[in-house]
Amino acid sequence: MIFLRLFIEFFKTGLFSIGGGLATIPFLSAMGEKWGWFDEATLGNMIAVGESTPGPIGVNMATYVGYTVGMGEYGIWGAILGGFIATLALVLPSVIIILIIARILKAFKENKLVERSFYSIRPAVTGMIATAAVAMIKSAVFTKGGNNILKMIDLKALILFSVLLIATNVKPIKKLHPIFFILIAGAIGAIFKMGAI
């Protein structure tokens, strides 16, 4: 039953998350709330790991969720099967749609109604990605406790966020590979957690 649920949830996510990996984040957030498979903090960690490992973020997160859900229910074999099912379910809608479109590509491409539909879909996808970004910022920079605004902000996280946001928009630094920023942020995070700073 858990594997069927995984398949249905990730098939729906793959079918409706138009725009790629980051567009899956609102679906994953809703999935975590509905089934209790993970919380917002875990989702933030999944996004960080998914972005810093090779492959599409949506596929990486589907594999991760399937793995952890399957592991919790059936051990290592459940984890392997869960990861496979969630990943397959996420990519299957795209494969089916691409196969259908490939058959009617010319007529589909020149259809004005389809062209107008995609014009409307782009802003909606942008809004979904922006929503995910705001949720990640809240999860990474703000703490749950305290009624004082200063106690609600993780100052170290805010400084790290601000420095990296500015650094990634400065021309000479902007040209550096994303792995550089991931490694630097990981090292600083480790130093923060060890209490050295």
Quickly state the pLDDT bin for 111 (edges 50, 70, 90): confident
Q: What are the DSSP calls for 4-20, one per residue?
A: HHHHHHHHHHHHH-TTS
Beta partners for residue 153, in sequence order: 142
Q: How far apart are the first and last CA of the chain?
A: 47
Q: If DSSP states are collapsed to H, E and C, what string results for 47-63?
A: HHHHHHCCCCHHHHHHH
- The pLDDT-based confidence of 184 (bands split at 50, 70, 90) is confident
- What is the pLDDT, as a whole number, of residue 106? 65
Q: How distant, in Å, are the alpha carbons of 85, 86, 105 from that of 60? A: 13, 10, 29
Q: Which has the minimum average pLDDT: 71-85, 118-132, 135-149, 160-174?
A: 135-149
CB-facing half-sphere around the CA of 90: CA atoms within 13 A = 26
pLDDT of residue 19: 65
Among residues 147, 166, 158, 142, the alpha carbon closest in space to that of 192 is found at 158
3-state DSSP call for residue 142? strand
3-state secondary structure of 39: coil
Q: Which of 29, 16, 10 is nearest to 125 (CA)?
A: 16
Q: For residue 20, what pLDDT is reported?
A: 67
The pair of structure tokens assigned to 98 is: 């691409």
- Would you say residue 37 has pLDDT above 90? no
54 band by pLDDT with thresholds 50, 70 and 90: confident
Instruction: Kindly report, residue by residue over 123-156, the tens digit of the pLDDT.
Output: 888 888 888 788 878 877 877 666 666 677 877 8
Q: Can you say how many angstroms the Cα of residue 174 is from the centroid of all Cα atoms in its chain?
A: 22
| pTM of the predicted protein model | 0.61
In the chain, % of residues over pLDDT 90: 16
Mean pLDDT value across residues 47-76: 85
Question: What pLDDT is recorded for position 154?
Answer: 78
Coil/strand/helix, residue 153: strand
CA distance 50 to 52: 6
The arithmetic mean of pLDDT across residues 82-91, rounded, is 93
Residue 9 has pLDDT above 80, yes or no: yes
Residue 11 identity (one-letter amino acid): F
Containing H/E element for 163? helix 155-167
